[in-house]
Amino acid sequence: MPLSRPEAVALFPTGGAIPEELQIGRSAVIEDLTASAEGGQTLIFAENRHLGKSSLLLAMVDRILATRRGRKALSVDLRDGIDDSGALAAALLAQADKQGAGRVVAAMVVKGKLSRMAPQALDRLRLAGDLLGESDEARTAEKLADSLQPAGATMRKALLALDAHGHATGERSIVVLDEAQDLLRWEDALEVQREIAIAIKRASSTVNFVLSGSEKHTLLGLYHDAEAPLHGLGRRFQLPEISRDDWCAGLAQRFAQAGVGIASAQLHQIVYSSEGHPLRTMLICVHVLDWLEDGWASQVTVERAVADAQRHPSWSTA
């Protein structure tokens, strides 16, 4: 049964982060990004707009949360109601709690539980105590539970709490900050950068970061500027272009799902016209659906679709 037009359009998404199953030619990139983040690397992911950064981050976080393997993925878009460091700190701790941080720590406080903990687990708890300034294991567990509360949290307290929790439980926290360059607009921007740098450089830190942003040069300045607290920390993650073969194979599959006939020449025509840019490619494909002749996308169909896509406001900003 042929797909309805809304169902067909949904195969060619043009807005917002999209799930991994709708991405074309990105599997190897997602694997690399996820492996680097899970391995404890801090990454600077600075690219221009509409190239799919947020979609890749979504896929990475979904993979981490699906497999767990002693990892928490705390992902915050700074343009989603986060306008100061207190809001960011609270959002990180709230996500950590949602992913079970509070339950794990609460279990340590149960009467008699500490005395039954394995030596290795007690050693981890003592490391957490060193970070929190506590030498008694029971008080450390209680302080850990208190430190994970979002109310009134500061960046220093939040990042210290996440690191202490990581030492106590063996779970690493991967902190994803999308549109991270926006923190430069905050009054305490320099202090926030310092706290992130401290968390990265702390010996045996259990917290690492993926700092992503569409204001490419601004975000890279945090990494390259010799005066910036984050100078030289981590590595830049660069996004490779999607190959023409991957584009054509992926689009052929999508058009087949939509019940649209299209020749290889027209698939190459779409990718050539979009220059392989993800948003422009999807815009053309959506407009192809408007000009079909008996369910077939001809050269004329694609030419008309390209003309329509080029008039779209997002084409010039892509």
Taking the domains of the chain in order of start, what are their residue ranges? 5-19+242-317, 26-236
* Residue 73 tokens, joined: 């993925």
pLDDT in tens, the chain (318 residues): 678 889 999 999 998 888 899 999 999 999 999 999 999 999 999 998 889 999 999 999 999 999 867 789 999 999 999 999 999 999 999 999 888 877 776 666 554 566 666 677 777 888 887 888 888 877 887 888 888 889 889 999 999 999 999 988 888 999 999 999 999 999 999 999 999 999 999 988 999 999 999 999 999 999 999 999 999 999 999 999 999 999 999 999 999 999 999 999 999 999 999 999 999 999 999 999 999 999 999 999 999 999 999 999 989 877
Q: Give the per-residue pLDDT at 116.
A: 66
Where is 176: in which H helix or E strand? Answer: strand 172-178
Return the CATH architecture of domain 26-236.
3-Layer(aba) Sandwich (3.40)
Nearest CA-CA partner of 61 in 30, 21, 28: 30
Nearest CA-CA partner of 167 in 198, 110, 205, 137: 205
Q: Give the per-residue pLDDT at 114.
A: 60
Fold for domain 5-19+242-317? Helicase, Ruva Protein; domain 3 (1.10.8)
Would you say the C-alpha torsion 192, 194, 199, 200 has a positive or negative sign? positive
